[in-house]
Amino acid sequence: MHSLSASIVLYHNKRKQLKKVIDSFLSTNLNVLLYLIDNSLSDELKDMAESDSRIMYTFNNKNIGYGAGHNIAIRKSIELDVKYHIVLNPDLDFKGKVIDNIYDYMNQHGKVGNLMPKILYPNGDNQYLAKLLPTPLDWLLRRLLPAKFTRGITDMFELRYTNYTDKMNVPFLSGCFMFLRIEVLKDIGLFDENIFMYMEDVDLNRRIHVKYKTLYYPDVSIYHEYERGSHKNFKLLRISIESSIKYFNKWGWFFDKERKNMNNQLLKETNYYD
């Protein structure tokens, strides 16, 4: 039986970049499977799966969305009775035994449903990807105003005041790397396929957070190129806006008691009010 599986959703990715994350994941000593779920308009990346028998390739012939793509792989993993599944972005790189370390930790901490390690830029700077659940005001102000006017909001929203040195149980962890416990997904469900991209990770993580721990885990680190495409591309900006609307329609715009309780609990645990 396989120890764990992982999936990467493809969309006309750079081969050199994609090879980094594939090699990073397959460097583990564990018995693993890697699913390449291709949302590209052609199967020109199919040969990326030919280098290793542990890689499975699926070509969708259309862009079905980030969460929907990963769901294909997660369902296969459920059928194979795999214990853990990792959601990977195609722009990641990590050295050493990151996967093995997290695998051991998850085996020892059964209440953790999702885990995200420390995420760094390629130059070694920290990425602040453990966050509070967003409000519509957070989303609008941070997107529309220059950074100098939103530093106070950002410091709280991205938990920068914690310095990211300790483990934290966080309701919003980035979808660039999600180490997921399959039994938890069976309980709370998979990615919401109505959310095409950008808010599907918030939605899934908060559903897990209701019943399990969603852990920021700084004991190991990975590198993420993090292009912030929605800030540079109008089409991606439109998708981001549409996804945000669907997310807030689902959970509540200005009245979301669960969001308020989760955020306040985290702020207390991280001594924001001290």
Domains of the chain from N-terminus onward: 4-269 (3.90.550.10)
Write the DSSP assignment of 29-82 as a string of letters. Answer: SS-EEEEEEE-SSS-TTGGGGTT-TTEEEEE-SS---HHHHHHHHHHHHHHTT-
Q: What is the pLDDT of residues 82-109, one digit of tens each?
A: 999 999 999 999 987 999 999 999 999 9
Q: Which pLDDT score is estimated for 266?
A: 96
How many CB atoms are closer than 10 A to CB 259?
18
Assign 201 to helix, strand or coil.
Answer: helix
Assign 234 to helix, strand or coil.
Answer: helix
Q: What one-character DSSP code corresponds to residue 12?
A: S
Q: What is the mean pLDDT of each run of 10 residues along the chain (274 residues)?
A: 91 94 94 96 94 94 94 97 97 91 97 98 95 85 64 86 96 97 97 91 97 98 75 71 89 92 95 79
Q: List the structure tokens of 190.
A: 């998979």
Q: Which pLDDT score is estimated for 260?
A: 95
Q: List the structure tokens of 197.
A: 């991209």
How far is residue 60's CA from residue 50's CA, in Å, rounded to a whole number?
A: 18
How far is residue 136's CA from residue 245's CA, in Å, rounded to a whole number?
A: 9
